[in-house]
Amino acid sequence: MRSLNTTKTKTGLSNSNLLFMIAGIIFVLMYGFALLSFPGSFMQFQTFFDLFNFNAALFIVTLGLCVVMIGGGIDISVGAVCGLVTMACAMLLESGMGNVWGALFLALGIGLAFGLMHGYLIAYLEIQPFIITLAGMFFAQGLLTTLHKEPLNVTRPAFVALRNFTIEIPWLGTVNRLGVFIPCEIKPGVLVVVVLVLLYAVFMKWSRFGRNLYAVGGNRQSARMLGINVKQTIFCSYVICGLTAGISGFVFLMTTGAGNIGNGALFEMKAIASNVMGGILLNGGVGNLLGAPIGTMTLLTINELIRAAGVQSNLQAIVSGLLLYLFIVLQSIVMSLRGRSKFQLALLPWLKSHRTSSEKKAGN
């Protein structure tokens, strides 16, 4: 089967890697522009690390959704599930009936329950994923508001200690106006992001499930002809996404320290936008999982640029929407050009693969 991800075209570069490379270049240019425009803010190493410290939950949600999108699916319930997990864990910790480990297992259990439910209904009953996950979003939001309508701060000492725990990087930091060196700090949630990115990237690159998921996302009928269990593959992708949303909710609680009905709001939209900006096609079958964090950093950098410029906050949504339009159009143009050899040679000569001498002789 000629999968959109694994098949190399005449340019010698897979579609997934090409779009990932474009996403990486755009992020570097975006952050470079931020460094030049607002050196006082973006020149500080802590500003870069804070993108992860304060948004670790969004990075994690984007990873889980990326797995589903590569398989040609969608899950718009991840934000509501994340919010539900934060409130449920906060209530458990404040009730005195559970500890931090109990809250973590509760978060994984809630995420797993939604993943199993969505995966079964979508994969085995063949119901449209948008409809099922929309129902899951309403269900999670309803449970969230039913559990506790007011913000609930977690005051349990063990959790507060975990939330306040930071890891200092003694050789990296900034000097304040008094000449005192302040080392950079990272939160435990950042370590969770790094571990999940490495784990998922290896899993998608070298495991049989990862290869099958790309094949299913590229062409389900061809995948069936190759003997791939399409339903099982789709089911597992939603289970992974649900578990990831559960982890995201626990990390969100570690970041904010409180359960709130607004937690996780619009995470699903931000995650979809981040994945598209990272080079993952909405049609499925094309995308590098490492593009998920790249796209998230691009989206967050845009927001930080707007804040640094002192522009109204509602402009963030406008700029993000316009850039999302741009990325979708850019993806369409790139994929179209790679399907037309005439335009490949004219517009993208630097991507051409070099033919060996034996190939030239064979061609002659």
Task: Say if residues 93 and 152 touch (Cβ distance below 8 Å).
Answer: no
> Closest Cα to residue 111, out of 138, 88, 93?
88
> Closest Cα to residue 51, out of 43, 59, 62?
59
User: 362 in a domain, yes or no?
Assistant: no
Structure tokens at 46: 């802590």
**pLDDT over 60 at 348, yes or no:** no
Coil, helix or strand at residue 18 = helix
User: 359 in a domain, yes or no?
Assistant: no
**pLDDT over 90 at 321, yes or no:** no
Task: Return the higher-pLDDT residue of 320 and 18.
Answer: 18
User: 256 in a domain, yes or no?
Assistant: yes
Query: Which whole number is the average pLDDT over 16-41?
Result: 87
The per-residue pLDDT for 338 is 66
Least confident of 86-90, 247-251, 314-318: 314-318
**pLDDT over 60 at 8, yes or no:** no
User: 9 in a domain, yes or no?
Assistant: no
The per-residue pLDDT for 4 is 45
User: 77 in a domain, yes or no?
Assistant: yes
Phi, then psi, of 184 in degrees rounded to 5: -75, 150
The per-residue pLDDT for 362 is 41
Strand 167-175 vs strand 258-259: parallel, antiparallel, or unpaired? unpaired
Residue with tokens 């997990």: 85
Residue with tokens 């718009």: 76
Q: End-to-end CA distance of the chain: give it in Å, rounded.
A: 29
CB atoms within 10 A of CB 233: 23
Task: Say if residues 243 and 228 touch (Cβ distance below 8 Å).
Answer: no
The per-residue pLDDT for 143 is 93
Q: Which residues contact 34 (CB under 8 A, 6 or more apart)?
A: 42, 301, 304, 305, 308
Query: Which whole number is the average pLDDT over 51-73?
Result: 94
Would you place residue 333 in the very low, low, confident or very high pLDDT band (cuts 50, 70, 90)? confident
User: Which residue range is the domain that position 198 belongs to?
Assistant: 15-354
Structure tokens at 78: 């991840």
Q: DSSP string covering 217-238, please?
A: HH-HHHHHHTT--HHHHHHHHH
Residue with tokens 């998230």: 296
Give the C-alpha separation, 103 to 97, whole Å: 10
Identify each DSSP E strand in 254-329 by its residue range.
258-259
The per-residue pLDDT for 46 is 84
> Closest Cα to residue 73, out of 351, 358, 293, 281?
281
Phi, then psi, of 173 in degrees rounded to 5: 175, -160
Half-sphere exposure of 171 (CA within 13 A, CB side): 0
Would you place residue 116 in the very low, low, confident or very high pLDDT band (cuts 50, 70, 90)? very high
Query: Which whole number is the average pLDDT over 165-172?
Result: 85
CA distances from 181 to 175, 177, 178, 184, 315 (A): 4, 10, 9, 10, 35
The per-residue pLDDT for 103 is 93
The per-residue pLDDT for 317 is 74
> Closest Cα to residue 73, out of 203, 207, 240?
240
**pLDDT over 90 at 150, yes or no:** no
186 pairs with which residues across the strands?
A: 167
Q: DSSP string covering 37-88, please?
A: H-HHHHTSHHHHHHHHHTTHHHHHHHHHHHHHHHTT---S-HHHHHHHHHHH
Structure tokens at 99: 């500890």
> How many structural domains are present in the chain?
1
Q: How many residues does the chain have?
A: 364
Give the C-alpha separation, 59 to 274, whole Å: 9
Residues 272-320 have pLDDT tens digits of: 999 999 989 888 888 899 999 999 999 999 888 888 877 666 677 787 7
Give the C-alpha separation, 40 to 61, whole Å: 31
DSSP letter (8 states) at residue 76:
S
Would you place residue 340 in the very low, low, confident or very high pLDDT band (cuts 50, 70, 90)? low
Task: Return the higher-pLDDT residue of 254 and 309.
Answer: 254
**pLDDT over 90 at 327, yes or no:** no
**pLDDT over 50 at 202, yes or no:** yes
173 pairs with which residues across the strands?
A: 183
User: 26 in a domain, yes or no?
Assistant: yes
The per-residue pLDDT for 363 is 43
User: 6 in a domain, yes or no?
Assistant: no
CB atoms within 10 A of CB 339: 10
Give the C-alpha separation, 75 to 195, whole Å: 23
- Which CATH number goes with the domain that contains 272? 1.10.3470
Task: Return the higher-pLDDT residue of 11 and 248.
Answer: 248
101 pairs with which residues across the strands?
A: none
Please, what is the average pLDDT of the chain?
Answer: 84
User: 363 in a domain, yes or no?
Assistant: no
